Amino acid sequence: MRPIFLLLGTLLLIGCKEQSAESSTVHLKKEISEMYHRHIKDLKNLNHTKLMTHYLDVDDHILFGDGQYWGNYQTVNDIWKNFIGDTQEILVWNLSNEHINLLSNNSASYITEYYNQRINNKGDTIKVRGSVGYGLIKVKSEWRIVTTNVSHFEVD
């Protein structure tokens, strides 16, 4: 009788570990998705200071754009500062095909496609479609972007 209880206890522990790992994965992916949706909210609000809190200022921060090396953290900062400075209003910023791949409990990749419409300071409506991939690490319980690979093109 005793071996059966031992077997049942072992199976219960294994089952709980699998559920716990699955639950942890779901939780981490939710954290990442929520972080990026806050990123978009800060962008729509044209809040450069809050927007940049999603990026980690490290020496090896890398930005690639449209197949070319664009720069580092300072480049990201300058691009968003110029983008926000030349924008009166963001009308639409839609995401699609979001994919989150956990590499560990504190590193992941986030990939999505986007479509946006904005009114620039000249009053022109600019429509852009593209995709972005981020390398993320978790620092002090917050997910931060450390690499960016973006492609974008204007559409009619």
Q: What span, in angstroms and rounded, lies between the C-alpha atoms of 28 and 59?
A: 26
Q: Which residues contact residue 149 at a Cβ distance below 8 angstroms, ignoring those fewer than 6 apart?
A: 64, 65, 132, 133, 134
Q: Whose structure tokens read 């090396």?
A: 69
Mean pLDDT of 27-47: 96
Number of structural domains the chain divides into: 1
Over residues 97-118, the pLDDT tens digits come to 999 999 999 999 999 999 999 9
H/E segment holding residue 131: strand 125-139
Identify the CATH number of the domain in which residue 126 sits.
3.10.450.50
83-96 average pLDDT score: 97
Per residue in 117-149, pLDDT tens?
A: 999 999 999 999 999 999 999 999 999 999 999
136 by Cβ neighbours in 10 Å (0-12 / 13-18 / 19+) ranks as: buried
Binned at pLDDT 50, 70 and 90, residue 24 comes out as: confident
Is residue 69 within a helix (H) or strand (E), and if so which, with residue range?
A: strand 68-71
Cβ-contact 144, 56 below 8 angstroms: yes
Residues 69, 67, 98, 78: what is their CA dihedral angle, to the nearest 10 degrees?
40
Burial 66-100 (b: 16+ CB within 10 A, else e): eeeebbebebbbebbeebbeebeebeeeeeeeeeb
Q: Which domain holds residue 13?
A: 2-154
Residue 13: pLDDT band with limits 50, 70, 90: low
pTM for the full predicted model: 0.83
pLDDT in tens, 46-80: 999 999 999 999 989 999 999 999 999 999 999 99
Block residue for tokens 């690639």: 64
Among residues 21, 3, 24, which one has the least CA distance to residue 13?
A: 21
